[in-house]
Amino acid sequence: MIRPINVTDIEAITHIYNHYICNTIVTFETAIITVEEMKQRVANSVENGLPWLVAEDDNGSIVGYAYASTWKGRCAYKHSVEITVYLDNNVMAKGWGSKLYSELFVELKNRDIHTAIGGISLPNPASIALHEKFAMKKVAHFEQVGRKFDHWVDVGYWQCLIPVCKSI
């Protein structure tokens, strides 16, 4: 089930995200975050009228989340968002990312959002495939803009106009 986040989900999504901080280049954060920090991040998106969704399996466990955040602070950017998805590392390749993004795009269409942008630390073939599944196109590639685990990391950006983005 995909549904809007509630306060009881914060601990689970913090756990999911901290795995990526500690073990991957997917996020450029290097220090784990607290439940309180995550709660504030969720509040910031929700206060801006943007969706934050969770995926709940048949057992009621949170297995992933997706959200939209403001792209830039200037007013003219208010119809563009950055989108993000994170999955519990035990449920990869089971369709949860597609389910989350599919519902996220529906939510964005209903909120007068025009452009969705996804940043991907490279290499990351699974994330690229997910974004391109929704008709997102690569629009930028920045070389060696992050450094994590003693390696330089590239970042690519994928974009789609919401009316064109595919929903599955």
pLDDT band at 108 (very low <50, low <70, confident <90, very high): very high
Q: Residue 167: which pLDDT band, with cuts at 50, 70 and 90?
A: low
pTM of the entire predicted model: 0.93
If you write DSSP's letter for every residue of 5-38 in order, what string do you get? --GGGHHHHHHHHHHHHHH-SSS---S---HHHH
pLDDT at 40 over 90: yes
Does residue 2 carry a pLDDT above 70?
yes
Looking only at the bridges linking them, the beta strands covering 80-87 and 115-122 are parallel
Q: Which residue has the higher pLDDT, 112 or 152?
A: 152
Name all domains of the chain by residue range, CATH numbers in brackets: 2-116 (3.40.630.30)
Neighbours of 7 (CB within 10 A): 10
As a whole number of angstroms, the distance between CA 99 and CA 103 comes to 6
d(CA 38, CA 91): 21
